[in-house]
Structure 1
Amino acid sequence: MSLLVNQRKRIGIKNIMKKNKRLCLLVMPFLLFMTACGFHPIYGVNKYTPVGAETKFENIYIASIDDREGQFLRNELIDRFYRSGRPTDPQYTLSFSELSESIKELGITVDADATRGQLKISTHFTLTDNQTGEILLERSLRSIATYNILASEFTNRVSEESARENVLRDLGRQTEQQLALYFKRH
C-alpha cells in the first residue's frame, strides 16, 4: 500500500515539474521581450540621452505671469527648475497664457447651501527656442481641487486658498513633466 502511495506522489511531482517547465518555456520569451521594451528613465542620463532633463531645465527663462496666482506658479517653477541659480543666457523661454479660474459649488443641501466647492484653473504654455524663435512645445494644462464650505467665512477663505495653492503646485508639476518628456524625446 505504501509503495502505491509513493508511486502516486512521484507521478504527481513529475507532472508538476513538466507543467512548470512548459510554463517556464512559455513565460521566458515574454520576459525577455519585456526587458527589451526600451524603457528609459526621464531624469536619468544614459547612452541615448547624455544630458538629463534637469540640465535642460536650467536653460529655461520663465516669463512673468500676470496676477498673484501667476506669480505663485512662476515661483513654483523657479524652485523646481533652478537648482544652481537662474540662467544668464537661457536657451529657451517658457511663457504662459492668462490663468483661467472657475469655482463651482457642489453638495447642495436642502436649504440650498453648498457644502463643497470645486476650484479649477486652466492655462496654456509655450516653450520657445530663443535663437530661432521657433515654438518647440505647446500644451494646455488644467487642474482641479475641492474644498469644504463651512459656516465660518474665515475657514472658507483659508480652505479656498489652500485648494488654489494645491492646484497651482499641480500645474507646476504638470509643466515640469511635459517639459521633461519633450526634452527626453528631442
Structure 2
Amino acid sequence: MGTVYVHPPSYSDEDGARAARVFRNAMINRIGDSPQPLYSIQSNLSVSLKSLGITQENLATRYQAFASLSYVLFRLDQTGKAMPKKLTNNSITSWAGYDVVNSPISDVIAERDAIDRVSKELAELLYLRIASYFAQKPQRQNGAIRPLSAF
C-alpha cells in the first residue's frame, strides 16, 4: 500500500543512470506504487568509482563504488490547487568494494554488482528514514492524534 510517489532520481552519468533505475525499482518494490499518492520523493543520485588497491605495476586491483543520494519529501495537495509542501530533506551515502581481476567481462560485472548493491542500500536507508519520519510525526484525525502512516 504505497502512498508515496518516488520520482526517478536525477543523475549525471552512465553509472548514475543504472544506479537511478535500480534505486527507484527497489523503492517501488519496498513501498509500492499508488495511483493517487499523498507524498512524493524527489532525489539526486551521484555515483563514483575509486581505485583502492594498486600493484607495483600501477594497476588497480580493488575499487570502491560510492553513492550519495540527496532527497526531499513533499506532501502533495490532493486538490491540485496548491504547491507541494516540503516536509523533510537530507542526504545518505553508501559504498561497496569489489575486486578487479583484469578480465573484461568479470570486471564489468563486478562493477555493476557494486553499483546495484549501493543503489539497493540507498533505497533501504531512505525507506527507513521516511518510515521513521512518519512514525515520529503525529497527525490529527477526528480530534485524536496518531502517528502518520504512509506505508
The one-letter amino acid paired with 2:21 is Q
Distance 2:31 2:66 in 1: 24
The corresponding residue for 2:8 is 64
Q: Distance in 2 between matches of 1:95 and 1:169?
A: 17
User: Shift in Å at residue 121 of structure 1?
Assistant: 1.0
Name the CA distance, whole Å, in 2 between partners of 1:77 and 1:62. 7
- Aligned-pair CA distance for 1:88: 2.3
Q: Which runs of 5+ in 2 are unaligned?
A: 11-16, 138-151
Q: Which residue in 2 is equivalent to 1:104?
A: 50
Q: Give the aligned partner of residue 92 of structure 1.
A: 39
Q: Percent of counterpart pairs with the same letter? A: 28
Give the alignment of 1:37-186 within 5 angstroms. Answer: 58-66=2-10, 67-82=17-32, 86-97=33-44, 99-131=45-77, 133-186=84-137
Query: 1:68: Cα distance to partner?
Result: 3.1
SS of the aligned residue for 1:180 comes to helix
- Structure (1 or 2) with the greater strand fraction: 2
Structure (1 or 2) with the greater helix fraction:
1
Q: Write the letter of the residue equivalent to 1:107.
A: G
Give the CA deviation at 1:110.
Answer: 1.1
Residue 90 of structure 1 and its aligned partner are, at CA, apart by 1.0
Larger Rg: 1
Q: CA deviation at 1:182?
A: 0.3
| Mapped partners of 1:109, 1:138: distance in 2 | 42
TM superposition shift of 1:87: 1.5
SS at match of 1:143: strand
Point out which structure has higher relative CO (alpha carbons under 8 A, 6+ apart). Answer: 2
Stretches of structure 1 that go unaligned for 5 or more consecutive residues are: 1-54
Distance 2:53 2:21 in 1: 31
Runs of at least 4 residues off by over 4 Å: none
Q: TM-score, normalised by structure 2?
A: 0.79
Number of equivalenced pairs: 126
Corresponding residue for residue 149 of structure 2: none
